[in-house]
Amino acid sequence: MALNSTLNRVTQNIIARSAPTRRAYLDRMTAARSKGPARAHLSCSGQAHAYAASGEDKDQLSQATAGNLGIVTTYNDMLSAHQPFERYPDLIREAVRAVGGTAQVAGGVPAMCDGVTQGEAGMELSLFSRDVIALAASVALSHNTFDAAVFLGVCDKIVPGLVIAAQAFGHLPAVFLPAGPMTSGLANDEKAIVRQKFATGEVGRDALMAAEMAAYHGPGTCTFYGTANTNQMLMEFMGLHLPGTSFVTPNTPLRDALTRHGAQTALALSDIGNAYTPVCDILNEKAFVNGIVGLNATGGSTNLLIHLLAMARAGGIILDWQDFSDLSEITPLLAKVYPNGLADVNHFHAAGGLGYMIGELLDSGLLHPDTKTVAGGGLETYTREPRLINEDLTWQDGAGQSLNDKILRPASDPFQPTGGLSLLTGSLGTAVMKVSAVAPEHRVVEAPVRVFADQDDVKAAFKAGELTGDLVVVVRFQGPKANGMPELHSLTPLLSILQGRGQKVALVTDGRMSGASGKVPAAIHVCPEAVNGGAIARLRDGDILRVDAEQGVLDILTPGVSDRPPETADLSANQFGAGRELFAAFRQNVGAADTGATIFGG
């Protein structure tokens, strides 16, 4: 199948737009490669420090003749998605010893859970944690003693932060090793019903707690299709996972075999062999376009509309939201996974999963087939599935067809002809909306606004019965400069209740929503943000807004709003507590959401 003309046009636009910064980046990577890992050039004292605790690997390291693999881990045992990584360093060390190499844990990086911090002060550190992770991973690799790296990470800000760091060391090969989703527990839609009943007082906290514990019940990633699982999809579409790796459950023989093989693959791609494949060659403009197509085809998390911008810029590639919108227009929605449907990622994987989707999109000319990957060759390899046969890991052809058309459909008969994301522009500014889970009848809302500067005030107004009639709930001063751009996912149950009562309702905010959100239309990431004097700071209760995801419109219909001075907010309460005082430099230096909301020159 010939490449889709729009896909090709968007790609060529990105290449042209990025040419100066991409060239400068690649020149830096060439220079870094020429210096090579420096462990053989370290002083005797430096080498002794580096190898002192390496046990049986000490001789191999001191001879500097074998490949040395750096492990960057996000292990902690508070996050179910990251707890399985506790076992990985031993698996990895054994695997690389079997092929004559060595491996060392280069460093650990922080990993916080947005599910735990939703609606709490800690959520205001969440977005910034991505850049902290990038910094910490760079410190881990800064010893310059590694020939390749493996990155152990799964969740929301964690994989994007690791990708940013991997590109800072883009002359090294890297393989991303996931942990996999937890086995299916209480269905996500049943859990959502209990949450709504709790919000209206129909059930007590004991029922809510029982439902949550039944849903989040064991090791592995949460099973809905939020940011964490969207990250896993991206790593496969962009060639940094082994094929079919994303959704194999933890602590199984197949999962362990994939972990071992991934470690050996990373060393095999190093500069000491004949298959040198650094990160800078894998993550090119075509790889990022493939990732955006995957995001649209799966109805993935809106958080990636920020993260992909930051990830790309780390490699000198300049994306903008128009690229996402243009690709959304040509990408069919092939998957329905909660919150876009009733299935979870385990059901999606069983129905054919990413391998089937990649095959369908390749056959439709909607992916670049010729990208480099850690598996070698192009994306066609990613239509195959891993199998463990007599303890030998092998890849076989995938299903070739959907095994459940309520979850996964062919490109010729999609759930909808366009992707799951919409770009909105107008007199209020620029915003994005995840529309894959929003029913068509809810995608256009023209109504008076109720303006809030805090999500807790929205909840109080809801409890007081003030949110009546059709309305647009505006929550402002939630952008990256204001308070770190927290997710406002805890508003989802009450807004869903209003919508369920027959009200036309939308959310407009310069903050973020969770990757698990979607049924209520939410125009998010509004730029310019309120603290920068954006039009959202000029709104008053009763002004009329039009939020139109069908036509891509975000307009103020009330005359004279642009002539008002912008409102200001007392943000002093957001400056301290839960570590927020330590992040003042981030708030002062962060770029706008439409450039990745990053401190790294965004």
Amino acid identity, residue 19? A
- Does CATH place domain 421-595 in 3.50.30.80? yes
pLDDT band per the 50, 70, 90 thresholds, residue 516: low
**One-letter-per-residue 3-state SS of 534-552:** CHHHHCCCCCEEEEECCCC
Residue 509 clears pLDDT 60, i.e. is over it: yes
Residue 60's pLDDT band (cuts 50, 70, 90) = confident
Rounded average pLDDT over 393-422: 93
Average per-residue pLDDT for the chain: 92
User: So what's the pLDDT on residue 253?
Assistant: 94
HEC string of 260-315 equals HHHHHHHHHCCCCCCCCCCHHHHCCHHHHHHHHHHHHHHCCCCCHHHHHHHHHHCC
155 is in an annotated binding site: yes
Compute the average pLDDT of residues 472-493: 93
Phi, psi of 524 (to 5 degrees): -120, 175
pLDDT confidence bin for 462, thresholds 50/70/90: very high
For residues 112 and 130, is the Cβ–Cβ distance under 8 A?
no
User: How many residues belong to the chain?
Assistant: 602
Looking at residue 580, its amino acid is: R
Mean pLDDT of 424-432: 96
At residue 42, the pLDDT reads 72
E strand map for 157-295: 174-177
Residue 316 near residue 28 (C-beta atoms within 8 A): no
**Phi-psi domain of 377 (left: phi exceeds 0; alpha: psi -120 through 50; beta: other):** left
Residue 14 has pLDDT above 80, yes or no: yes
- 157 by DSSP, 3-state: which? coil
Residue 216: pLDDT over 80: no
Tell me the DSSP string of 437-484.
TS-GGGSEEEEEEEEESSHHHHHHHHHTT---SSEEEEE-S-SHHHHS
Residue 288 reports pLDDT greater than 90: yes
Q: Which of 364, 303, 313 lies closest to 334, judged by CA?
A: 364
Which one-letter amino acid corresponds to residue 261?
H
Q: Using an 8 Å Cβ cutoff, are 369 and 378 in contact?
A: yes
Contact between 179 and 85 under an 8 Å Cβ cutoff? The reply is yes
DSSP 8-state symbol, 497: H
Tokens of 70: 């750096």
State mean pLDDT over 485-496: 90
Find out whether 237 and 383 touch, Cβ atoms under 8 Å: no
Q: Which secondary structure element, helix H or strand E, spans residue 160, and what is its range? A: helix 158-168
Strands 68-73 and 392-397 turn out to be unpaired
Was 222 annotated as part of a binding site?
yes
Q: What is the pLDDT of residue 40?
A: 67
Closest to 258 measured CA to CA, from 388, 351, 85: 388
Cα–Cα distance, 118 to 487 (Å, whole number): 7
The confidence score (pLDDT) of residue 217 equals 75
Distance of CA 21 to the CA centre of its chain: 24
The b-or-e profile of 137-155 (16+ CB within 10 A means b, else e) is: bbebbebbbbbbbbbbbbb
Average pLDDT over residues 56-75: 84
pLDDT digits (tens, 9 = 90+) for 569-586: 999 988 899 999 999 999
Phi, psi (rounded to 5 degrees) for 297: -65, -25
pLDDT at 268 over 70: yes
Q: Is the pLDDT of residue 400 over 70?
A: yes
Where is average pLDDT lowest: 118-122, 360-364, 534-538, 545-549? 118-122
Query: Using an 8 Å Cβ cutoff, are 198 and 174 in contact?
Result: no
Select from 303, 322, 235, 305 the least CA-distant residue to 517.
Answer: 303
Q: And the tokens for 401?
A: 């067809």
Domain ranges, ordered by start, for the chain:
5-183+218-397, 184-217, 421-595
The model's pLDDT over 112-171, given as tens digits with 9 standing for 90+, comes to: 988 888 878 888 899 999 999 999 999 999 988 999 999 999 999 999 999 999 999 999
Strand partners of residue 432: 423, 524
Give the separation between CA 38 and CA 143, rounded to whole angstroms: 8
- pLDDT of residue 469 exceeding 90, the answer is yes
Q: Kindly tell me if the per-residue pLDDT of 602 is higher than 60.
A: no
The whole-number pLDDT of residue 189 equals 75
Q: Which residue in this structure is represented by tokens 């009763």? A: 542
Compute the distance between CA of residue 246 and CA of residue 243 in angstroms, rounded to an integer.
8
Give the three-state DSSP class for 574: helix
Query: Which carries the bigger pLDDT value, residue 36 or residue 445?
Result: 445
DSSP β-ladder status, 471-475 and 505-509: parallel
What pLDDT score does 499 carry? 94
- pLDDT tens-place string over residues 82-117: 999 999 999 999 999 999 999 999 999 999 988 888
